[in-house]
Amino acid sequence: MGLGYIGLPTAIIAAKEGGVDIIGVDINPSVVEQTNAGHLHIIEPGMEEMLQDVVKSGKLRASTTPEVSDAYFMVVPTPFKGNHEPDVSYVEAATRAVLPLLKEGDLYVIESTSPVGTTEQMADIIFSERPELKGKIYIAYCPERVLPGNVIYELVHNDRVIGGLDEASTKKAQEFYAQFVKGTLHPTNARTAEMCKLTENSSRDVQIAFANELSFICDKAGINVWDLINLANKHPRVNILQPGCGVGGHCIAVDPYFITSDFPAESRLISDAREINNYKAFWCVEKVKNAILEFELQHGRKPVVAMMGLAFKPDIDDLRESPAKQITGKVMQSARNAEILVVEPNVKSHDSFTLTDYREAYDKADIVAFLTAHKPFKSLPWREDKVILDFCGIFKK
């Protein structure tokens, strides 16, 4: 249920590597049409060829409605409502869509990132509507752990945490994933599995916040933050991450709120890290705006500004929760005394931005703000004739 950045790759891998007959369900008819035609609607190296293979063999087909199956997987978004409060309505809607189809012996699994207790909440819905299934179906939670751009390898080789509502459900889910996962399948309960996913990404968020906070300090102290971190990491027990223009994506920038929303008094460090990483984007906006004002004062004309990168991390097309996209939008809204060139080499077009080739933008620009460390950007030479704002370490020296 859900053929997005996780659902579609999981469906393809389960069909290709596990030989499982898969029905991929999505409410977007375009996604269903593209999938059945063997066209990948996301960017993931090597996966379109796999999609074509499993569609051609009949192992995978897509539909806008679910059909009677033996196992049902909820892989739908969990957005926010209000003040970063998790919204599990998509999970509930997907659950209700399969509710009439469930039968004795079926496996129901949530993969969507969810607040602690969501699996139990969905089980309550199932058994309130279908009380005859209580004790006769298997219910579990199993979060994904994949890196965009390396999904094919990681879906197969990464360890998985699998938490059932009872031991039998855990074992049933393990049996399913064992068909295509070569990593270790770690059994636990549903609440621990839900919390494990949130903990992993909150931990990363806190570590990135430390690096971003260092970048504020070093900017004020006149220290090269990249050199500093490189030297500090020579210590055998220190491993500081790299700063950036914030934190984006569907996991690290989102999952901590699932904890802080439910446990506000107990999650002060996690909450502070979120604030630091959110603030970094606003800090970058101010840096660009100040550079534009200084240029205009010094040269008596409006500068050309290149905003380099929209994706939330290097070498992908995913713009979800992207601080680079947010920064670019804010600069375009406020900096009317500049010509803004927007660059994203991994996207062909965008509804809100006119995109420019990265080489052309770099050549034309007076001010260059590097927001995402895409590989093509690293081939560009340092230019003394430009104001370079390197927020992601393209020129670390």
Active-site annotation, residues: 197, 251
E strands, the chain, where? 22-25, 60-63, 71-74, 80-81, 85-86, 107-110, 138-141, 160-164, 185-189, 304-308, 339-343, 367-370, 387-390
Phi, psi dihedral angles at 354 (to 5 degrees): -90, 120
Q: Which residue has the tokens 């059945």?
A: 36
Report yes or no: 142 and 155 within 8 Å, Cβ to Cβ. no
**Coil, helix or strand at residue 7:** helix
Cβ neighbour number for residue 55 with a 10 Å cutoff: 20
Neighbours of 357 (CB within 10 A): 12
Under 8 Å between Cβ of 339 and 171:
no
DSSP state of 351: S
Q: How far apart are CA 235 and CA 321, in angstroms?
A: 33
Under DSSP, the state recorded for 300 is S
The pair of structure tokens assigned to 375 is 């590989």
Pairs from 11-14 (Cβ < 8 Å, separation ≥ 24) = 11/60, 12/47, 12/50, 12/51, 12/54, 12/60, 13/50, 13/152, 13/155, 13/156, 13/180, 14/179, 14/180
d(CA 223, CA 226): 9
